[in-house]
Amino acid sequence: MKKALFIVLLGTFLFTGCAAYVAPTVPPMGLAFENVKAPLDVNVNKTKMSEKQGEASSLCVLWLFAFGDCSIAKAARNGNIKTINHADYQYTNILGFFQQFQVIVYGE
């Protein structure tokens, strides 16, 4: 009985990362592979789309090492954007061994 309880608790702990999205939209999630793009903002009333964009990303390797700056400010600086009109994100996950979170901003 204790072994079964341990396995359930361990499984719950390991898979809670899948429920950690805090974005306004949550696209479908894959267990083995995931590569999704979704908006970071949903208030797009009268939002002007722009060709100019900037990107910033962070990485996680082997669930052990995470690094990078995926802030909106960094993405705006990388794209030389002064006014942000819209922001998206892209998330890639390969068996949890490699994960990348990228913020894409559009503006002028």
Assigned domain for 16 exists? no
Assigned domain for 7 exists? no
Q: How many domains does the chain have?
A: 1
Q: How far apart are CA 55 and CA 79, in angstroms?
A: 7
> How do residues 40-96 score in pLDDT, each as one tens digit?
877 777 777 778 999 999 999 988 899 999 999 999 999 999 999 889 999 999 988
Assigned domain for 9 exists? no
From 12-16, 24-28, 40-44, 82-86, the region with the lowest mean pLDDT: 12-16
> Exposed, middle or buried, 85 (CB in 10 Å: 0-12/13-18/19+)?
middle
- Structural domain of 57: 24-107
Residue 31: closest CA among 93, 85, 75, 99: 93
